[in-house]
Amino acid sequence: MELDAKIPSGPIHEKWDRHRFDMKLVNPANKRKFDVIVVGSGLAGASASATLAELGYNVKCFCFQDSPRRAHSIAAQGGINAAKNYQNDGDSVFRLFYDTVKGGDFRSREANVHRLAQVSVNIIDQAVAQGVPFAREYSGLLDNRSFGGAQVSRTFYARGQTGQQLLLGAYQALARQIGTGKVRMFPRTEMLDIVVIDGQARGIITRDLVTGKLERHAGDAVVLATGGYSNVFYLSTNAKGCNVTAVWRAARRGALFANPCYTQIHPTCIPASGDYQSKLTLMSESLRNDGRIWVPQKPGDDRVAGQIPEGERDYYLERRYPAFGNLVPRDVASRNAKNMVDEKRGVGPTKIGVYLDFKDAIGRDGKNAIEARYGNLFEMYERITGEDPYSAPMRIYPAPHYTMGGLWVDYNLMTNIPGLYAIGEANFSDHGANRLGASALMQGLADGYFVLPYTIGDHLARHLGEGLVSTDDAAFQAAEEGVHRRTERLLGIDGSRTVDSFHRELGRLCWENCGMSRNRAGLEAAVARIPELKEEFENDVKVLGSAESFNQSLEKAGRLEDFFELAELMCYDALERRESCGGHFREEHQTEDGEALRDDENFQYVAAWEFKGQGETPTLHKEPLEFEYVKPSQRSYK
Amino acid sequence: MKLTLNVWRQDGPGDSGRMVRYEMPDVNPDMSFLEMLDLLNEGLIEKGEEPVSFDHDCREGICGACGVMIDGRAHGPLPGTTTCQLHMRHYKDGDELTIEPWRSAAFPVVKDLVVDRAAFDRIIEAGGYVSVNTGSAPDANLTPVPKDVADNAFDAATCIGCGACVAQCPNGAAQLFTSAKVSHLGLLPQGQTERWRRVRHMVATMEDEAFGSCTNFTECEAACPKGISIDFIAQMNRDFVRARFRDPEADD
Ligand SMILES: Cc1cc2nc3c(=O)[nH]c(=O)nc-3n(C[C@H](O)[C@H](O)[C@H](O)COP(=O)(O)OP(=O)(O)OC[C@H]3O[C@@H](n4cnc5c(N)ncnc54)[C@H](O)[C@@H]3O)c2cc1C
Ligand code: FES
C-alpha cells in the first residue's frame, strides 16, 4: 500500500495557502447537494459540523451522550495555545511550530504542525466572537499564561474550565445550525460500523441507545471526531464513555491506525484509593510551579509525611534535574514517580503515590497567596481524598490522559479510505510522540473550524452528481446484519463475569506492560495474554437485558471488545518501535542517566498499521518523516 | 459501612415504576456516590438482575450528565456538589438513602434514574448563541471587555446544564438555566446585536416546553452545583420586558 501524505510543495509557510488555492471548490449552490456525516460532538466534531453547515452542506451529527454539550472536551482545564504574541514576548507562528515539533520528539509531520500554528490565531478570534469568556486583564484585553514549561505566554484560558467554555462556544454554533435545520443532531446514538462501497466511505450504521434500533445513514463523506482511547487502561483521566469503537470499526474496514503506542501519561493526578476506583482525576499541572515533589529516602518508610525529617526526604526531581527541577516535562516527571514506587518508596495507604508538598510555598508566600492561586484545586483534592492539602502534602501519581496515536490521515485529514476523515484526538496527526499542554484543544478546533471544511470540498467536488448511495445497498445490509449479530452474540454469552471486571483486568495488563515504561518481555507477554483474555471475555461475560432497550452494559461490552483488539495493536506497535521517544519509553533504549534514547536512523517514521483480522499479525506501513526546518536534537532537562 | 438504598426502578417511559430496596453491606467511605452505585450494579449483575441505569460521563462535576435526587435533594446534601463529586464519607454506617430520578414533566424518565433533558437543547437552539460564521470574526483584542463584565458573564457561563434547578423547583421551572445563557451572552459586547431577539426566542421556547413557571421559590439557586445566582433570572426578566420595545421583530 502506497502511503501518500499529500504534503503540498513549496516553503513551509506557503504550503497551506498554496494548497487552499490548488484545491477544488464546491460552488455555493452545489454544497446543498452533499450530505456529510460527522460522528462526535466534542471540540472537533461540533466545530466541524457547525462550520460545514454554515457553508451550506447538509450535516448529520452523532454523539452517545444525551446532549452534544457533554462531550469529553468539556473537561479540559488548563487552556489553549495560540501564536497571537499579545504579550510581545517573542512568540510567533514559527516558534509555536518549532516548540510543537520539538515537544513531539521529532515524530510528527512538519507541514501539518506548521498549519496548526498558523490557524491557531483564528481560533481565538472565533471563540471570542462566539462569547467565550476567556480570562482578561484589568485593561479588558485578553490574559495569557505560560503553560507546560513553554518559555512564552501563549496560553489562553477560562479559569480552570477552558474546555467547557470552548465547547459551549462550539456547541452554540452547532445549536444554531440545528435550529436552522442544516444539522440534524442524533444524541444518544452510537456509531457501530462504517459502510465502505467500492473502496469509498459511504455511510454508517448506528444504534439508538434509547430504543436499541439499528439505523443506516448514507453520506457523501464520513468524518470521525470520536476522541482518544486512553480508557484502554480502564483507569484514566478521560470521561467514562470515551472509547475507541468508531475508530476501531474504521480500522477493521481497512483504515490504517497510526502510532498506537504513543500515549501520554499525566504526572499530577490523584492516586487511586481502592479497587472500586472508577476513574482518575487530573490536578492541573500548574501545581508543579509551587509544589515540591518528594518521597522518603528509605524504602518502606511507614511514617506520615510530617514525621519524616527534612534530611530523610528525597526531592528526586530537583536532585536529578537541577535546571528544570519540578517543572520537567510530563513524561519525565511521570517516569520518575514510577521509579520511586518501584523502589518501594511510594507514599500513602496504597504506597502508589508521591508527595506534592506546598509547605515551603506557604511559608514563603503565605497561605492566602497559595489559596488565591490554587484554591479550587485544593478544594477538589480535599473533596475527593478527604485530606487537607494546606496542612499535609498532597499525594499524586501519573495517569493515562491523552493518546497521540489514532487513525492515519494525510495532509487533508483524510484516512486511506477515500471519503473517510478523522479529526481531533481521533487522528494521529500533529503531536508526534508527545503532546504539549494546551495543544489538544487547539488541534481539535483547528481541524474542525479551519482545516476540514476546506479540504473536504476538494474530495466532494470530485464526486458532484454521483448522489447518495441507497441505504438498501447490499453493503449497508451486510453491515447492519453484522452489528445485529454481534449484539446478539454478546447478549447470548451469559457467562459469570461483569464487563467492568474484564475491563479492569485489561487495563491493568496494559498499564503494567505498556504504560509509563515498556520492555520487550513485558510487551511480548501482553501480546500473548490479550487475545486469551479476549477469549475468556467472549466465553464468560455476562450482559443482561435486551438489544431493543436502553442497555448500558451492552454498550460497555461492545466498546470493551474493541479495546481488546486495539490493546493488542498498541502493544505490537510498542514492541516494534525499538527506541524511546516522547511518551514511548523502552527500557532497553535509554541513555546512561536513564533518559529516553531516540533512534532517528531506524525509526524516524510514522507506523501505520493495517489490521488483518483477529489473531493475525497486523501489517506495518511506514511513512518516513523529514525534518527540513527543525533539526532533530536530543532533549535535555539537566 | 452498611447502607440501605431505596432506588427508583422503571423499565421505560411506559412503565409506572417502583421503589426497590437494596442492602449494601460493605461501602467504603472513600468511594464516590457513583462508585457506590457501580458496586451495587456489579452485585446485581452477578446475581442475574439488571443493573440500575444512571447517566454519568466525566465524573468530575463538569459535563452535567449525572444527577439524581438523593433523599429529595438534587445531587444530594452537599452544596455546590454534583452527584459524581459526592463521596460516601458524608454518610454514616446504617444510613438509609432514597435515590430517584429528576422529577419533572419536561424531563420524562428514559429508564431507572435516566431522564430526557433534550428540552434544554431546544432552548439553546432557539437563540442561545452569537450568529458569527466561522472565519468572519475580527481580531480577539479589538473589543476590550471590562474585567468585571467578563467575570460576571463567566459566572453565568459556568452552567453545566444538569437540570438540578428544574428538578428542585416545586414548579419544575427552567428559569435559572435559561437566564444563565441569556445573561452570559447578553452581558458581553459580542452578544449585543442579538440580545433582544435572543431573550424573546429563548423564553418563548422555554414556555412551549413542559416546564412550570417561576414563582420565586429560589430552590434552584440552592440546588445548583455551580452556584448560579438567581440575579440572572431578574436580569432575564428585565431584558424580556425591554425586548418587546427594542426588538424590531417583536410583533406583540
Ligand atoms: C482531564 C483532562 C484535561 C484536559 N485538559 C486539556 C487542556 O487544558 N488543554 C488541552 O489542549 N487539552 C486538554 N485535554 C485534552 C483534550 O480535552 C482532548 O484531547 C480533546 O478535548 C478531544 O476533543 P475531541 O473533539 O477530539 O473528542 P471528544 O471531546 O472526546 O469528543 C468525542 C465525541 O465523539 C462521540 N463519540 C465517540 N464515539 C462515538 C460513537 N461510537 N458513536 C457516536 N459518537 C461517538 C462522543 O459522544 C463525543 O461527542 C484534557 C483532557 C483531559 C482528560
Ligand atoms: S458525571 Fe459529569 S458532572 Fe457528574
Amino acid at A520: R
Q: Look at residues A559, A624, A607 and name the one whose alpha carbon lies nearest to residue A234.
A: A559
The whole-number average pLDDT for the span B213-234 is 97
The whole-number average pLDDT for the span A44-49 is 98
Place of cell 411506559: B14
| Candidate from B36, B55, B62, B159 with most ligand 2 atoms within 8 A of CB, to mutate | B62
Residue B246 has what pLDDT? 85
Q: Look at residues A314, A50, A19, A366 and name the one whose alpha carbon lies nearest to residue A179.
A: A50
Interval between CA A358 and ligand 2 midpoint (Å): 29
C-alpha–C-alpha distance, residues A219 and A48, integer Å: 15
Contacts of B121 in chain A (CB under 8 A): 67-69, 175, 178, 185, 187
Residue A146 has what pLDDT? 85
The answer to whether A51 and A448 are in contact (CB under 8 A) is yes
Contact B134 A50 (CB under 8 A): yes
- In this predicted model, which residue has the larger pLDDT, A2 or B14? B14
Residues A522-555 have pLDDT tens digits of 999 999 999 999 999 999 999 999 999 999 999 9
Among B65, B118, B128, select the one facing A172 at the smallest CB separation.
Answer: B128
Indicate whether B252 pLDDT > 70: no
Q: Give Cα separations from A145 to A5, A78, A139, A573, B154 (angstroms).
A: 35, 10, 16, 36, 18
Indicate whether A417 pLDDT > 90: yes
Interval between CA B64 and ligand 2 midpoint (Å): 5
| Residue A63, ligand 1, Cβ within 6 A | yes
Among B29, B81, B132, select the one facing A130 at the smallest CB separation.
Answer: B132
Indicate whether A94 pLDDT > 90: yes
Indicate whether A286 pLDDT > 90: no
Distance (Å) from the alpha carbon of B64 to chain A's nearest alpha carbon = 7
Would residue B49 be called left, alpha or beta, if left means φ above 0 and alpha means ψ between -120 and 50 degrees? Answer: beta
C-alpha–C-alpha distance, residues B201 and B206, integer Å: 9
The answer to whether A19 and A411 are in contact (CB under 8 A) is yes
Which residues have C-beta atoms less than 6 Å from ligand 2? B 56-59, 61-66, 82-84
Indicate whether A325 pLDDT > 70: yes
| Residue A401, ligand 1, Cβ within 6 A | yes
Contact B121 A69 (CB under 8 A): yes
Name the pTM for this structure.
0.98
| Residue A269, ligand 1, Cβ within 6 A | no
The answer to whether B86 and B76 are in contact (CB under 8 A) is yes
C-alpha–C-alpha distance, residues A3 and A300, integer Å: 52
Q: How many CB pairs under 8 A join A and B?
A: 212
Residue A429 has what pLDDT? 84
CATH of the structural domain A265-401, one choice from 3.40.50.740, 3.40.50.1110, 3.90.700.10, 3.30.365.10: 3.90.700.10
The answer to whether A486 and A530 are in contact (CB under 8 A) is no
pLDDT band at A329 (very low <50, low <70, confident <90, very high): confident
**Chain A: residue whose CA lies nearest to B186:** A131
Indicate whether A638 pLDDT > 90: no
Contact A544 B50 (CB under 8 A): yes
Residues A469-489 have pLDDT tens digits of 999 999 999 999 999 999 999
Residues B25-56 have pLDDT tens digits of 999 999 999 999 999 999 999 999 999 999 99
Contact A164 B160 (CB under 8 A): yes
Numbered ranges of CATH 3.90.700.10 in chain A: 265-401
Contacts of B31 in chain A (CB under 8 A): 274, 276
Interval between CA A73 and ligand 2 midpoint (Å): 13
| Residue A120, ligand 1, Cβ within 6 A | no
Residue A595 has what pLDDT? 86
User: Residues A330, A518, A559, A635: which is the catalytic one?
Assistant: A330
Residue B21 has what pLDDT? 98
Alpha helices of A344-462 — where are they, by DSSP H? 359-365, 367-385, 440-445, 452-461
- In this predicted model, which residue has the larger pLDDT, A375 or A208? A208
Query: Is A330 in the active site?
Result: yes
> What is the CATH T-level fold of the domain A474-599, as seen in this structure?
Methane Monooxygenase Hydroxylase; Chain G, domain 1 (1.20.58)
Q: DSSP string spanning A262-297?
A: -EEEEEEEPPP-STT-----B--GGGGGT-EEEEES
Mean model confidence pLDDT for chain A: 96
Indicate whether B67 pLDDT > 90: yes
The whole-number average pLDDT for the span B221-246 is 96
Beta bridge partners of B131: none
Q: DSSP string spanning A140-209?
A: SSBP-B--TT-SS--EE--TT-HHHHHHHHHHHHHHHHHHHTSEEEE-SEEEEEEEEETTEEEEEEEEET
The answer to whether A228 and A214 are in contact (CB under 8 A) is no
Predicted complex ipTM = 0.98
pLDDT band at B110 (very low <50, low <70, confident <90, very high): very high
User: Crossing angle for the helix pair B195-208 and B118-125, nearest 10 degrees?
Assistant: 150
Contact A129 B51 (CB under 8 A): no
Contact A210 B110 (CB under 8 A): yes
pLDDT band at A285 (very low <50, low <70, confident <90, very high): confident
Distance (Å) from the alpha carbon of A614 to chain B's nearest alpha carbon = 28
Numbered ranges of CATH 1.20.58.100 in chain A: 474-599
Atom of ligand 1 nearest to the CA of A147: 8
In percent, the amount of chain A with pLDDT more than 70 equals: 100
What chain B holds in terms of domains, given with CATH numbers, is: 3-110 (3.10.20.30), 118-246 (1.10.1060.10)
Indicate whether A636 pLDDT > 80: no
- Cell representation of residue B67: 444527577
The whole-number average pLDDT for the span A79-93 is 97
pLDDT band at B251 (very low <50, low <70, confident <90, very high): low
Distance (Å) from the alpha carbon of A291 to chain B's nearest alpha carbon = 23
The answer to whether A522 and A513 are in contact (CB under 8 A) is yes
Number of separate helices (H) and strands (E) present in chain A: 18, 19
- Cell representation of residue B182: 441569556
In percent, the amount of chain B with pLDDT more than 90 equals: 96
Q: Which helix (H) or strand (E) holds A214?
A: strand A214-218
Contact B64 A500 (CB under 8 A): no
pLDDT band at B145 (very low <50, low <70, confident <90, very high): very high
